Chain A
Amino acid sequence: MISIAGLSKNFRGNDRAVAALRSVDLKVNRGEFFVLLGPSGSGKTTLLRAIAGLEKPDQGEISLDGKIVYSRSRGLCAAPEERQVGMVFQSYAIWPHLTVAENIGLVLTHGRLRLSKKEAAERIRHSLSLVQLQDFAARPAHLLSGGQQQRVALARALAINPALVLMDEPLSNLDARLREEVRANIKKLAVQIGMTVLYVTHDQIEAMVLADRIAVMAHGEILQIGKPAELYRQPASALVAEFFGSINWIRGIAHGNNRVETELGPLWVADSRHCHGAVIVGVRPEDVHLQQSSNENENRIEGKVRSSVFLGDQIVSEIEVRGKILIAKGSPDDGEPSDTAFVYLPRERLVVFSDRVPSNSLG
């Protein structure tokens, strides 16, 4: 559906050029819900806008539905109105001088379709019913609440039956409760209509709930593409691992044979991507298990519980192991941890990367 190759874009600032996209390659399949995830400034919105035709890239090629819409080498750049996509903007971009129905009608009668008023009315009714706003058709758009405007924006994007719908952080201006509701609605609609969606967000929970596949972006590059669980369990880099939630980092030297000499002592790991030299081993808090006693030795180290906080559905503890603090999340059913405990780090849950200080620029 979307095919992007070698896409680059620089923004010229006051004194220097900032690379917003660095040779990005991407393929999105028909019917897929694809999420671009990254912190602000990662280039995800620029990528979306380049696909819509709102931003002109410097290099590369974009094709939509097998049709090239941008190609530097062929000197081709189709105008936004020629690309046949629907789009939901972060600010919703609902035209405040029109009514709800007119907002959708303008696109149908004066957009590419050039429908007659009568044909348009039928479509308006249908697309408003998709977002449960049938009764609001005659309402002036600027009198709607944020959540309603968001739904009108969605209805407008869907009204022209686009092959592809682009969404630019459509939920970021809604309050938390509404966000969850609308999120579920969007997912349901996407499945129901079978549309291809490219969705930009900086919220990893949103991404995991919605996406068939996710591309994690930072500094204008795609770091990793995969299904939500893949990205969580098998991050390709420390950066991606950090972006999907908190993680403990342990320094060490890998000696092959899945064995790492770490600051906490020797650890066995299943991850064999980096088996020599200085490495960092990552383990998520929920994979740090606390045990009172231990019969086995593998990946079990004695530590002191420094603090422990009850959060209802979980207990978060700080454990000092050989002078280093590890964060552990456990079930309250396991009981309050005692002062000393054995920390167990299951080998298949440890991720290993060659050592560089994990960047905090994410998160």
Chain B
Amino acid sequence: MAVAISAMALLPVLGLLLLVLWMGFWQNGPGEPIIYTTSHYRKIFTDAFTYKTFLNTVGFATTAVLVALFFAIPLAWLVERTSLPGKSLILAIVTLGALLPTFFTAMGWVFLLHPRIGIINRFLMDTFGLAQAPLNVASIVGMGWVEGLGLSSIAFVMIVATYRSMDPSLEEAARVHGLGIFRTLVYVTLPLTFPGILAASIYVFTIALSAFEVPAIIGMSNKIFTFATFIFYKIQPLEELPSYGVAGAVSTILIILALLLSWSYFRLLRFSQRYAVVTGKAYRPQPIELGSKGCILAWSFLGFYFTVAKVLPLLLLVWAALLRYFQPPSWAALAQVSMNNFYGLPWKLLLHGAWNTLLLMLAVPTLTLFLCLAISWTVLRSGVRFRVLFDAVAFLPHAVPHLILAIATMFAALFLLRNVVPLYGSLMILVFVYTISRISFATRIINNSLAQIHPELEEAAFVGGLKLLQVMRKILIPLLKPALVYAWIWMALLCYRELTMASVLVTSQANVTLPMIVWGLWLGGSLNQAAAANLVVLICMLPIVLLYFIFGRRRRIAESA
């Protein structure tokens, strides 16, 4: 039965991928007679715009990786290897950072670095008498900077894991035999953590390659496209007709790229683990004393990071939310501060969106855990012949950009299932695609925990006469509970902030979600109202974050990597 459930969960994943492939060869739009063609591919490979978008995307992702590493490597080293006080606070804040919706910081940075209204630009122009804005967030580097700030949390968690898996006596041996702190860092620590850092870079690069939120919020209105926004634009263009064939072809290329990157990521990860020596000794090394000068330097760096990654965008959003028109802080502006943006918010829509979001947060994690429990059991315990295949397919939603999953789902609902199930525009379609997209994450977590439970614990119950369902309920689920609780809360939080997939599939009031309302206001040009709505959304998120810190925090988010 478990095998049947996992097959049911995984078939749609394969189905969606095949659909994307198929879509890329359609000459005309759906509804018309199907004529196959390779013209989309020909067009893509001959069009200068494709190459420009490709360069944009690679530039954007590379900048994001560099920014993320610039912050993550020193932070991880400080937390793992030094006596810096307040480490648990740093860990908590960085974890929190991973939860902060990217569209949130993206909007904050628009107010900071927009060539016309950005206050940093205005400040620099006024101070140095410049005619033009020196910085532009609506550029490849600007967007990469914002994306990199968002991804620095994930990079941090992964690099911390690299430090932890390294035998600390490798560094101690260098110290004892006369290499100082700096030489140890250069000749031992960095070379040994290099494969791990490279793996983290590829992982972050893969995410940035198909990232949607930052390019959508900053780039699209300025006609700067990356692959993700380009695909989106082909599906929901402003002027012309949707071009599903081109979207399908570009998506296929992007999927192949992402799969290649994921493959090299796993290769590298295995390579880096070759260096991880299991010592059998569970001691934590004596941390390096920083001294007062070092502490000041370290905290300045931390302060800078938290300011640019979290505090500044937040302050700017608050400031923007309080103004009718955005302007740099001044006495004159201060006089205009009011709560009007909040009063003017579409509260009825917001309430509706909140209700939908709440339903999603309850349904998606529950359904995902149910399915993934079956998948994990199939992979690790059933002994079915093709269980490796199950594992591989369960990994696909991680590698495939979520935007593409959503597009394929929309395509299926609109043109294949239209007369069978009325999914299009319903909340169900969001439940479906959100669940599909989280299968990799949940399977990984349950796999990790299930692998640590000795099969004899279940076998003893089987021998004692319990049936599979009872064994699940009485033995496995109680033992897996910490992992399940953690995964549930984390997925609920991801549901709450999900914008990418919603942007394709939310088509009516019936299935509108909170992030979509914020985005809608933003696209409509009411930046200040969007800022206000964003703050409301963020405040509503706090209770769940609290829940995460109470119940889920004991497990490290490293597992999500």
A79 with B169: in contact, given A54-B286, A91-B277, A97-B192 (CB under 8 Å)? no
When the two chains form their complex, are residues B275 and A97 in contact, meaning their CB atoms are under 8 A apart?
yes
Shortest Cβ gap from B145 to chain A (Å): 33
Asked if B275 contacts A80 (CB within 8 A), the reply is no
B275-322 contacts to A (CB < 8 Å)? 275, 277, 279-281, 285-286
Smallest beta-carbon distance B398→chain A, Å: 29
Closest beta carbon of chain B to A178's beta carbon, Å: 17
> Taking the complex as formed, is B457 at the interface, i.e. its CB lies under 8 A from any CB of chain A?
no
List the one stretch of B8-16, B177-185, B347-355 in contact with chain A: B177-185
- CB <8 Å contact, B172 and A80: yes
- CB-CB under 8 A from A81, the residues of chain B are 175-180
**Is B170 close to A, CB under 8 A?**
yes
The digit string for B126-164, where 1 denotes a CB below 8 A from any CB of A, is 000000000000000000000000000000000000000
List A residues 189-218 near B (Cβ within 8 Å): none
Q: Tell me if B458 is interfacial: C-beta within 8 Å of chain A.
A: no
Instruction: Find out whether the CB atom of A93 lies under 8 angstroms from the CB atom of B178.
Output: no
Confirm or deny: B274 has a beta carbon within 8 angstroms of a beta carbon on chain A: yes
Summarize A's interface: helix, strand, loop or mixed: loop
**What distance in Å separates the Cβ of A203 from its nearest Cβ neighbour in chain B?**
15
For chain A, residues 134 to 182, give those with C-beta under 8 angstroms from any C-beta of chain B: 142, 153, 156-157, 160, 166, 173
Tell yes or no: B525 within 8 A of A by CB. Answer: no
* Contacting residues of chain B (178-217) with chain A, CB-CB under 8 angstroms: 178-181, 183, 187-188, 191-192
Interface string of A46-65 (1 = CB under 8 A from B): 00010011111000000000
Q: Which residues of A contact B177 (CB under 8 A)?
A: 81, 86-87, 107, 111, 156-157, 160
Question: Are B169 and A113 neighbours in the complex by a CB distance under 8 Å?
Answer: no
- CB proximity of A278 to chain B, nearest CB, Å: 41
Is B44 part of the contact surface with A, judged by Cβ < 8 Å?
no
Chain A min CB distance to B187 (Å) = 6
Q: Establish whether residues A106 and B176, one from each chain, have CB atoms under 8 Å apart when the complex forms.
A: no
Chain A 343-355 per-residue mask, 1 if CB under 8 angstroms from chain B, else 0 = 0000000000000
Kindly list chain A residues whose C-beta atoms are within 8 Å of the C-beta of B167.
91, 93
Residue B173, interface by CB 8 Å? yes
Query: Contact partner of A91 among B192, B279, B285, CB < 8 A?
Result: B279
- B169, B183, B275, most chain A CB atoms within 10 A: B169
A215 to chain B, nearest CB (A): 21
Q: Are B281 and A91 in contact (CB under 8 A)?
A: yes
Given the complex, which residues of B lie within 8 Å of A56, measured CB to CB? 286
State in angstroms the CA–CA spacing of A90 and B209 once bound together. Answer: 44
Pairwise interchain contact B286-A79, C-beta atoms closer than 8 A:
no
Whole-angstrom distance from the CB of A157 to the nearest CB of chain B?
7
Task: Indicate if A332 sits at the interface (CB-CB under 8 A).
Answer: no
- The answer to whether A95 touches B176, judged by C-beta atoms less than 8 angstroms apart, is no
Complex: how many Å from CA A80 to CA B173? 9
CA distance A157 to B178 in the complex (A): 11
Do A96 and B274 touch (CB < 8 A)?
A: yes
In the complex, what residues of A have CB within 8 A of residue B279's CB? 90-91
Check if A112 is an interface residue, CB within 8 A of chain B: yes
- Residues from chain B with Cβ under 8 Å of A111 in the complex: 177-179
Q: How far is the CB of A230 from chain B (nearest CB, A)?
A: 31
Complex Cα spacing A111 to B279, Å? 25
Q: How many residues of B contact A (CB 8 A)?
A: 26
From A87, A142, A156, contact of B275 by CB (8 A): A142
| Bound form: Cα–Cα A153–B175 in Å | 14
Per-residue interface assignment for chain A, residues 275 to 319, with 1 indicating a CB less than 8 Å from any chain B CB and 0 otherwise: 000000000000000000000000000000000000000000000
Given A81-B175, A95-B188, A106-B187, A89-B180 contact (CB < 8 Å): no
Residue A326 is within 8 A (CB to CB) of chain B in the complex:
no
Residues of B within 8 A of A112 (CB): 178
Q: With contacts A95-B188, A142-B274 known, is A87 near B176, CB below 8 A?
A: yes
**A95 adjacent to B192 (CB under 8 Å):** yes
Q: Complex Cα distance A196/B180, Å?
A: 24
**Chain B residues whose CB sits within 8 angstroms of the CB of A24 once the complex forms:** none
Interface size on A, residues (CB 8 A): 34
Chain A residues closer than 8 Å to B274, beta-carbon distance: 96, 142
Does A222 make an interface contact (CB < 8 A)?
no
Which residues of chain B are near A86, meaning CB under 8 Å? 176-177
In angstroms, Cα B181 to Cα A245, docked, is: 44
Residues in A whose Cβ lies below 8 Å from that of B191? 97
Establish whether residues B179 and A110, one from each chain, have CB atoms under 8 Å apart when the complex forms.
Answer: yes
Judged by a CB distance under 8 angstroms, whether A85 is at the interface is: yes
Q: In the assembly, what is the distance between CA of A305 and CA of B251, in Å?
A: 85
Most buried by A among B173, B188, B279: B173
Residues of B within 8 Å of A107, CB to CB, are 174, 177-179
Q: Kindly state the separation between the CA atoms of A83 and B175 in the bound complex, as whole angstroms.
A: 10
| Cβ A91 vs Cβ B275 within 8 A | no
Q: How far is the CA of A89 from the CA of B167 in the complex (A)?
A: 11
Task: Select from chain A the residue with minimum beta-carbon distance to B184.
Answer: A81
How near does chain B come to A39, taking the closest CB pair, in angstroms? 15
Give the residues from 235 to 269 in chain B that come closer than 8 angstroms, CB to CB, to chain A. Answer: none
Across the interface, A96 reaches (CB within 8 A) one of B178, B179, B187, B275, namely B275
A85 to B175 CA separation, bound complex (whole angstroms) = 10
On whether the beta carbons of A52 and B183 are closer than 8 Å, the reply is no
User: B175 and A80: CB pair below 8 A?
Assistant: yes
* List of A residues within 8 angstroms of B192 by Cβ: 95-97
On whether A110 and B187 interact (CB within 8 A), knowing A56-B286, A81-B178, A142-B274, the answer reads yes
Residues of A within 8 A of B170 (CB): 93, 95-96
Nearest CB in chain A: distance from B337 CB, A: 47
Complex CA gap A160/B179 in Å reads 12
* Residue interface bits A103-139, CB-to-B below 8 A is 1, else 0: 0001100111100000000000000000000000000
Question: Does A93 lie within 8 Å of B175, measured CB to CB?
Answer: no
Contacts of A87 in B (CB 8 A): 172-173, 176-177
Listed in ascending order, the chain B residues whose CB lies under 8 Å from chain A are: 167, 169-170, 172-181, 183, 187-188, 191-192, 274-275, 277, 279-281, 285-286
A–B pairs, 28, beta carbons within 8 Å: A52-B176, A53-B176, A54-B175, A80-B176, A81-B176, A81-B179, A83-B176, A85-B176, A87-B177, A89-B169, A90-B280, A90-B281, A91-B167, A93-B170, A95-B188, A96-B275, A96-B277, A97-B191, A106-B174, A106-B187, A107-B174, A107-B177, A107-B178, A110-B178, A110-B179, A111-B177, A142-B275, A157-B177
- Across the A-B interface, give the 3 residue pairs with the lowest CB-CB distance, nearest first: A111-B178, A112-B178, A93-B173
Name 11 extra pairs, CB < 8 A, besides A54-B172, A81-B175, A166-B176: A56-B286, A79-B175, A81-B180, A84-B178, A86-B176, A91-B169, A93-B170, A95-B173, A107-B178, A107-B179, A156-B173
